[in-house]
Structure 1
Amino acid sequence: MSAAVLRTPEERFARLPGYAYAPHYVEVDGLRMHYVDVGPRRAAPVVLLHGEPTWSYLYRHMIEPLVAAGHRVLAPDFLGCGRSDKPAAIADYSYQRHVDWAWSWFEQLALTDVRLFCQDWGSLIGLRLVAEHPAAFARVFVGNGFLPTGDARLPLLFRLWRAFARYSPVFPVGALVQAGSRRWLSADERAAYAAPFPDARYMAGIRAFPRLVPVTSDDPASAPNRAAWEALAGFDKPVHTCFADGDPITRGAERALRRRIPGAAEAAHTTIRGARHFLQEDQGATIARFMIEQMRGDARRPPPAGDQRSSR
């Protein structure tokens, strides 16, 4: 890894609309990784994994309903994103490194009995973790995500996005999130998505993500992802899909998840109406309600009196 690592100044995260969570950090591979951690400390954890070019800010509409329902909610920022450290060279990032970094975060927090929600790159990383460490997960929710192996041609829109991320001289994060959302974001919300990236030097991680998606069968991530699919073919804990009705990138991928993962056969599924790729931005409260309903019968670890970790 190159020696250059950037850290976004803390003042960039002051007074973000709807996001007043105290920061938490662990060290991963010598880098500082940020996460949100709110709700009863001893409740079974709900982990929310974001995609690209977003960060944990994406989950602000889901965190509060989940906490109000009694869940401990954790939302990490992948390295290169959000408040986490940002290696400055695109070559510093690989699919495998992201998987390893994320699992190190799980291990350091000793997370077990996890309810996972994953979207976009959160699914590419999250489904690998579920496949490789199935005992850690009790229930999985996949929204607008998949686990590609490079054996099938990806949609034209993704291929255009991949080229844009690689060659465009500008990378307007707020505008990109807006383009993937049906709801009109305020200027302050768009600025909040761009807050982690004071200038182009900080964007290596989010620029790298599209080129890390396996698009050929001999990609370095193809074999590990095929192995993950083989493992997921034996995963019989509940797997729910909640895909948006307006996402042209992942449309139809939910059918393969339901067909190939045994835990999806008897699980409830839903279509999130009125949403595009960033369904958390468009219909976060609706997704949270669906999750709460599915988790209602799960065994709960009652928190000790007064053990509330919300920083709000």
Structure 2
Amino acid sequence: MQILKTDLTRFEAIKDFPYQENFIDFDDFKMHYIDEGKGETILALHGEPTWSYLYRKFIPTLKDYRFIAPDLIGFGKSDKIVGWKNYTFDLHFRSLEHFIHKLDLNDITLVVQDWGGMLGLSLLAKYPERFKRVVVLNTFLPVGKKMSLFFKIWRMYAKYHPSLSISTILKRGSFQKLSKEVLEAYDAPFPNRKHKGGAVAFPLLVPANRNDPAVKPIQKARDVLSKWNKPALVLFSDKDKILGGLDKFFYKLIPTAKEQQKIKIKDAGHFLQEEKGEEIAQYIHKFMKDELRVK
């Protein structure tokens, strides 16, 4: 297995991500994360094909908290593996498991979106005692049932594209027009095809049948969340062509989600943190202050 170190000079031109670099060792990898502020811990997990840059707009609003956002292996400033087949659900899960133990994180408010949801909610299911609240953004918990035609096409596109365009995925998944500088920031971790194995792998790691190894931890996440008695906030956007409408699944699944106001993030696509980051952060702040509870 060939591991590529990220060229950190590629990030020097990014003007709106002034946050200190932090790294921890996991197996043979270096895993990058941002760790800003003090107070209650917020752990924010990105998905496909983004990195911790996705959460940059949250930090000023949530300055009274300790805001932590790692880059998953294969993304952002973390190490990359050559070859998509070397990425597994278990690799990502163990890296996050190691992460929360290494940093000794407790009383966590978990914020998840996309693959961050599949991994993060599975992590919550294994260590519920470490988590105090959960915020669910556009994500899902698939357990190997039939996939839509759209998703099958997306899997084939990712698998066979000669060099997956990260910025194109961001553009197509967004409702608003993203600036050239922002798109370049999302491209920065991926100088060439060899660095894109993680981005290629994620669509292919979504469970396609009940025997997939990811099904067991994801099913456990469903089971634990169905009995969740701690605060839960569901925030989906209204223009997500990928996972739009799946907020209904989480409202039905998580009993305490019904105790909070039902909020829809307007005029945002799949990458709602990019398009409406400040607004979402304000809702999270109110949620943590118990100001969104249905009277």
TM-score (norm 1): 0.90
Match 1:139 to one of 133, 154, 163: 133
8 Å CA contact retained: 1:65, 1:288:
yes
Aligned residues: 291
Distance across 1 between alignment mates of 2:173 and 2:78: 23
Gaps of 5+ in 2: none
Distance across 1 between alignment mates of 2:90 and 2:51: 19
1:249: how far off?
1.6
Q: Deviations over 1:105-129 (max 9, x none)?
A: 1110011011111000110111101
AA aligned to 2:209 is T
AA aligned to 1:26 is I
| Aligned residue runs from structure 1 range 224-235, under 5 A | 224-235=217-228
Q: Is residue 115 of structure 1 aligned with residue 109 of structure 2?
A: yes
AA aligned to 2:171 is Q
Distance across 2 between alignment mates of 1:174 and 1:126: 24
Counterpart of 2:207? 214
Q: Deviations over 1:9-59 (max 9, x none)?
A: 11011130311111000011221000011112xx11111110111001111
Given the superposition, is the C-alpha separation of residues 129 and 269 from structure 1 closer, same or farther in structure 2, using an over 3 Å criterion? farther
8 Å CA contact retained: 1:8, 1:198:
no
Given the superposition, is the C-alpha separation of residues 17 and 269 from structure 1 closer, same or farther in structure 2, using an over 3 Å criterion? farther
| Aligned residue runs from structure 1 range 1-312, under 5 A | 2=1, 4-40=2-38, 43-67=39-63, 70-151=64-145, 153-297=146-290
Distance across 1 between alignment mates of 2:286 and 2:224: 27
Q: For residue 156 of structure 2, give the secondary structure of its aligned residue in structure 1.
A: helix
1:158: how far off?
2.2
1:166: how far off?
0.4
Gaps of 5+ in 1: 299-312
Distance across 1 between alignment mates of 2:72 and 2:189: 12
Distance across 1 between alignment mates of 2:223 and 2:289: 30
8 Å CA contact retained: 1:17, 1:192:
no
8 Å CA contact retained: 2:82, 2:194:
yes
AA aligned to 1:186 is S
The Cα RMSD (Å) is 1.4
1:297: how far off?
4.0
Structure with greater contact order relative to length (CA < 8 Å, sep ≥ 6): 1
1:91: how far off?
2.1
1:222: how far off?
1.6
AA aligned to 1:247 is D
Given the superposition, is the C-alpha separation of residues 130 and 269 from structure 1 closer, same or farther in structure 2, using an over 3 Å criterion? farther
Q: For residue 207 of structure 1, give the secondary structure of its aligned residue in structure 2.
A: helix
AA aligned to 1:66 is L
Q: Deviations over 1:277-296 (max 9, x none)?
A: 00011111110111111111
Q: Deviations over 1:258-278 (max 9, x none)?
A: 112223232333100000000
Which aligned runs of 4 or more in structure 1 are off by greater than 4 angstroms?
A: none
8 Å CA contact retained: 2:14, 2:181:
yes
1:223: how far off?
2.5
